[in-house]
Amino acid sequence: MAGIQLNQINKHYAGVKVITDLNLDIAQGEFLVFLGPSGCGKSTLLRMVAGLEPVTSGGIVIDGRDVTELPPGQRGVAMVFQHYALYPHMTVYDNMAFGMRNIGMAKAEIDQRIQDAARMLELDALLQRKPGQLSGGQRQRVAIGRSIVKNPSAFLFDEPLSNLDAALRTRTRVELARLHLRLQSTMVFVTHDQVEAMTLATRIVVMNKGRIEQIGAPMDIYRRPATRFVAGFIGQPAMNFLDTERVAPQDGRLCLRIAHGSIFQTGLLDSDVPAGALTLGIRAESITVDPQGELPGRVDVVERLGDRTLVHVSLPDGSNVVAEAHRDSSLAPGETVALRIDSARLHVFDAAGLAHHAPQ
């Protein structure tokens, strides 16, 4: 197991800044997930940790060793890619043994490691098959097994579930979580899928344009996003955002009026929130269909998801929100509804996109 430190990491391509002054400590045994949209720099960062990309400046320390200038094979990490990269002409056993044979490891030791990894990943019955005879999920497990047999200091996963169908992705996600519990190894995982991040991570690092927007436990990031970007990226459906007008405070508390005219008193001190345009953020579960609600609208789309029903509603000012209805609701597009907003669960964002939250 290993801790990983990234110190003032910068990465430039022909003058284009991809990663800028990034600092991060990854704890030993942690399952850390880099989450962000395509092009935010998360895979580039992982490849720099693995030694597959040089850093422009800064340092990388793994297990107490400065590995910034070391080649990949000397860093003590194992990387699992989005594409399995298995040798098609070799059996599962030989694919897993290949790297160990190259460094002259004893045959008995190779066999023991492969048998242990195969049992852990339920590959025992597949060791003599070739990749073409395996399903996508089985091939991914072989790729993971090939990493396990190396006994690495840390595992690096670069969107390893992206090529799997939805059901298999869910099963493999659970297998990865169980694997982490068994091995207690440091795991660093890159994804653009927030469900993967929320269900696997000890901590999530949300990235945007080569910078870290927020670091925290999954539910902390969900409940208290640091920026509007994080608030809009985390959560399904995405957070609703409404333009507001600041009005006179009540009991010193910030009060905001939305376009329809409803005024909401927040838990924030008015004096703590900077001047300028403010945006109200509200998650779908904090807006409910209620005949006594203060906000009128018209139903555009109804999403029946089994455990919950989401309603897409057009407001009088032309804006749209996603709200929750009772899961057995009979609402249909075109109907008029009233919405109730839980004022205790509002998020406020200033003109710079920074979030302001009431004290917990």
215-234 pLDDT tens trace: 999 999 999 999 999 999 99
In a 10 Å sphere around its CB, with 0-12 CB exposed, 13-18 middle and 19+ buried, how is residue 130 labelled?
middle
Radius of gyration of the chain (CA): 25
CA distance 266 to 156: 42
pLDDT of residue 136: 81
- The Cα 237–Cα 291 span in angstroms is 23
- CA separation for the pair 356, 3 (Å, rounded): 32
Give the side-chain half-sphere CA count within 13 A for 71: 1
Q: Going from the N-terminus, what domains does the chain have, and what CATH number goes with each?
A: 4-227 (3.40.50.300), 240-356 (2.40.50.140)
pLDDT for the residue 35:
96
Alpha-carbon gap, residue 45 to 188, rounded angstroms: 11
Q: Could you tell me how far CA 134 lies from the centroid of its own chain?
A: 28
Question: Does a cis peptide bond (omega within 30 degrees of 0) precede residue 237?
Answer: yes
Task: Specify the pairing of strand 186-191 against strand 154-158.
Answer: parallel
Q: Which helix (H) or strand (E) holds 48?
A: helix 42-50
Work out whether strand 186-191 and strand 31-35 pair parallel, antiparallel, or are unpaired: parallel
How many contiguous H segments (helices) and E segments (strands) does the chain have? 8, 21
Length of the chain: 360
DSSP for residue 107: H
Tokens of 94: 């030989």
**Spans of the chain, pLDDT less than 70:** 1-2
Half-sphere exposure of 146 (CA within 13 A, CB side): 27
Instruction: Give the global pTM.
Output: 0.88
pLDDT digits (tens, 9 = 90+) for 137-196: 788 888 888 888 888 889 999 988 877 777 778 888 888 888 888 888 899 999 999 999
pLDDT tens by residue, 63-82: 999 999 999 988 989 888 87
